[in-house]
Amino acid sequence: METSKSEFKAKALEYFRLVEETGDPIVITDRGTPTIEVRPFRGEVRDIWALLRGSVLRYEAPLEPTGEPWDALS
C-alpha cells in the first residue's frame, strides 16, 4: 500500500492500526517518490551487552606511551 505524506499525516493512527492488523507495510511518498516505509516490528529485542561482548580490546598499559611518534600540530 502507498500513501502520500499529507494523507498519512491526516490518518496516521488509522494506518498504524492497519499495519498492526495486517502485517503489511505502508510506503509513504513525497511528491510521488517513495521515502519512508512503515512496517511492523518483528525483530527480537537485543541485549546491548551481548552485542558488545568480545568487542573491547585489552590494553595492558593504558598510561604508557605507544612508542609511535606523532605531531600534535598536524
| Global confidence as pTM | 0.56
Summarised one tens digit per residue, pLDDT across range 25-45 is 999 999 999 999 999 988 776
All domains of the chain, ordered by start, with CATH? 2-52 (3.40.1620)
Q: Is 64 exposed, middle or buried (0-12, 13-18, 19+ CB in 10 A)?
A: exposed
Specify the pLDDT at position 73.
65
Joined together, the cell numbers standing for residue 73 give 600540530
Joined together, the cell numbers standing for residue 7 give 494523507
Give the mean pLDDT of 40-55. 80
